[in-house]
Amino acid sequence: MKSPIRVALLLPSLPVGGAEILILEEMKLLATHDNIIFEIILPFEPGALYEKVRATGVAISVFHATHTLFSNLKTYGRILIFLRRKKFDILHVHLMYHGVLLGKLAGTPRVFATIHSYQKFSFFELFCLRFSDKIFGCGEMVADMMKRLFPKKSVICVKNGLDPEIPDKEKNLVPKRKGEVFISSLGRLDAKKGFEYLIEAIRHVAKESPDVKLHIAGEGKQKHLLRQQIANARLQKNVILLGHVDGVTSLLMSSDIYASPSLLEGLPMSLLEAMRCSLPIIATDIEGNRGVIKHEETGLLVRTREPEALADAIRRLVRDPKFGKELGKKAHQVFKNQFTIQQHCHQLLNEYGVQGCPNEILEHLKKC
């Protein structure tokens, strides 16, 4: 009997983010696969998703680097020794592309890298990525970008995915008063997510629709600035910063609209979560979002950094909920056809060269 393929996943940490949620979804489905053995390597802190990922049964090694140059270099040396000792068949790198060099120096037979955002790369990142045996783009837009930088045959689109089944424990709705309209938004509170523009849009909308409530789930460096913006605009009753939410599906299922004001994305997991819940989506017209949302068919796309454009889209969906429900219904169908974790894992296993496929994946693919 052929030995299982041994795969190391290298990423900085396991905070709540799109790449990390994707890995959690992968491990839920593949951690107990007979023909593959995963191990996760974290150079830095464990992160908020650590316990959830560990509960899937996958082994995780945390090196606790302190984000200083000396500590980082020392940790990379320890990881290099670790890789040589463990003799993995594949090193799959996420978010820290210099990890590709570690894999090559360790003698790992195959080294892959997944690109999670539509972004600009440093010269050193491009240099490191050139040593990848395969480069995965998390969506078509990202893959097309990488094909302009690297040989096309080495770049493959492996779309992000989520489990289409929502656990019953995540179906508990958030209380809502009659007449209230809930808008939700998910993401790290940093500048590239554009939350300040969404809050400003709510300031415009709340003047005529005071029952509109925006719930933002996430943590990050901009939390204090956003709180100050909310206070200055006297929007404490209309905009709620929820912080980290364990299980955002309940929030989404209680919402009427999902809004993403982001300035930069790859293939956003947050949009997939909204599509899974059949929510009408308002998103910025950027490369990553266009790979998921088709304007006027599965959502509304608006210009970046323009609160009034966001406000107009919100007003439209508030005034015409029937149109919103139609958008959400079509978006949900696209999600089921293209963005399930079973489809993602089936392709990933093929790229890894793993023989056999879990019955759960095969049964799902028959339905697609």
**Matching residue, tokens 């978010």:** 95
pLDDT at 119 over 90: no
Identify whether residues 334 and 346 lie together within a single domain: no
Rounded CA gap, 302 and 308, in Å?
A: 10
DSSP structural state of residue 208? H
Identify whether residues 115 and 264 lie together within a single domain: no
CA separation (Å) from 62 to 39, 97, 191? 11, 18, 28
Kindly report the three-state secondary structure assignment for every residue of 32-55: CCCCEEEEEEECCCCCCCHHHHHC
Given this model, what pLDDT does residue 174 score? Answer: 76
pLDDT band at 1; cut points 50, 70, 90? low
Identify whether residues 152 and 194 lie together within a single domain: no
CA separation (Å) from 149 to 65, 83, 105, 122, 146? 31, 28, 23, 12, 5
Domain extent at residue 351? 5-164+340-367
In the chain, how many H helices and how many E strands? 15, 13
Identify whether residues 158 and 217 lie together within a single domain: no
Identify whether residues 344 and 276 lie together within a single domain: no
Identify whether residues 345 and 317 lie together within a single domain: no
Identify whether residues 198 and 156 lie together within a single domain: no
Q: Mean pLDDT for the chain?
A: 94
pLDDT band at 247; cut points 50, 70, 90? confident
CATH of the domain at 239: 3.40.50.2000
Given this model, what pLDDT does residue 30 score? Answer: 94
pLDDT band at 364; cut points 50, 70, 90? low
Given this model, what pLDDT does residue 366 score? Answer: 59
Q: How confident is the model over 350-362, as a mean pLDDT? A: 79
Q: Can you give the C-alpha Rg of the chain in angstroms?
A: 21
Rounded CA gap, 87 and 6, in Å?
A: 8
Task: For residue 85, count other CB atoms closer than 10 A to its CB.
Answer: 8
Q: How confident is the model over 32-54, as a mean pLDDT? A: 96
Percent of the chain clearing pLDDT 90 (strictly above): 88
Rounded CA gap, 6 and 8, in Å?
A: 7
Total tally of structural domains belonging to the chain: 2
Task: Give the alpha-carbon dihedral of 250, 252, 253, 257, to 10 degrees.
Answer: 160
Which range, 149-163, 168-182, 236-250, 351-365, has the best average confidence (pLDDT)? 149-163
pLDDT band at 72; cut points 50, 70, 90? very high
Torsions phi, psi of 156, nearest 5? -130, 135
pLDDT at 27 over 60: yes
Spatial neighbors of 43 by CB under 8 A, at least 6 apart, are 10, 12, 13, 63, 65, 72, 75, 76, 79, 96
Identify whether residues 73 and 197 lie together within a single domain: no
Task: For residue 107, count other CB atoms closer than 10 A to its CB.
Answer: 10
Spatial neighbors of 64 by CB under 8 A, at least 6 apart, are 44, 45, 75
pLDDT band at 99; cut points 50, 70, 90? very high
Identify whether residues 182 and 252 lie together within a single domain: yes
Given this model, what pLDDT does residue 171 score? Answer: 63
pLDDT band at 173; cut points 50, 70, 90? low
Identify whether residues 87 and 117 lie together within a single domain: yes
Identify whether residues 103 and 54 lie together within a single domain: yes
- Which amino acid would we find at residue 317? L
Percent of the chain clearing pLDDT 70 (strictly above): 95
Q: For 140-172, what is each residue's pLDDT tens digit?
A: 999 999 999 999 999 999 999 999 988 766 666
pLDDT band at 177; cut points 50, 70, 90? confident
Q: For 320-329, what is each residue's pLDDT tens digit?
A: 999 999 999 9
Identify whether residues 150 and 41 lie together within a single domain: yes
